[in-house]
Amino acid sequence: MPQPASQSAPQPTSVQAQPCPLCAGAGGRVVFQDAHVRVVHVDEDPALPAFYRVIWQRHVREWSDLDEGAQIHCMRILTALERAMRATIAPDKINLASLGNMVPHLHWHVIARYTWDAYYPAPIWAAPHTRAEDAPTERLQGLQWLKDQRPQLEERMRSACAEAPALLE
């Protein structure tokens, strides 16, 4: 439900007493941005070096708060990121998710997943099945390789995103 702006009863958004963190800050290292979206690298979990977010610049709560032109633009950015990942780091699977329970400002998680990663095949929000210090050699090598590929991956992401024509100027 759209939240009424002037109402004293508790609203879902009032879970955050703080200002919205995705309005107050970038929410990560910015890889690409235009007037509508920004793409940030998420450096919150060393077990997931190829984790990005697409953040809608304007504060909206749900995907369905966007009109169709805005949705298509957002979708093109997600697709551009997926294709850049597939071309450079060949994930075993890509995970996309728009949750926002903690931070209800529209953002999409875009996560490259590998059969050797610490959560696979579970979603990354499950408990990791092995501790970091028990990581097998394959995983340690994979993590290092992903870090090494990052400049090339992000350059490709920037090119692919820049080619996504905005429908909503």
Determine if 45 is a binding residue for its own copies (CB under 8 A).
Answer: no
Q: Nearest distance from residue 80's CB to its own copies, in Å?
A: 9
Among 46, 123, 134, 162, binds its own copies (CB under 8 A): 123
CB of 138 to its own copies, least distance (A): 12
Query: What does the DSSP 8-state code read for residue 134?
Result: G
Helix axes 68-88, 137-162, angle to 10 degrees: 140
According to CB under 8 A, which one of 36, 73, 76, 139 is a site residue for its own copies?
76
**77-116: contacts with its own copies (CB under 8 A):** 78-79, 82-83, 86, 90-102, 104, 113, 115
CA distance 5 to 21: 19
What is the closest distance, in whole angstroms, from the C-beta atom of residue 29 to its own copies in the complex? 23
How many residues belong to the chain?
Answer: 169
Q: Partners of 56 in the beta sheet?
A: 37
CA geometry: angle at 96 spanning 63 and 118, to 5°?
Answer: 145
Task: Tell whether residue 167 is a contact of its own copies (CB under 8 A).
Answer: no
For residue 54, the cross-strand partners are 39, 108
Give Cα 107 distance to the centre of its chain.
6
The footprint of its own copies (CB under 8 A) covers 1, 12, 15, 61-64, 68, 71-72, 75-76, 78-79, 82-83, 86, 90-102, 104, 113, 115, 120-123, 125-127
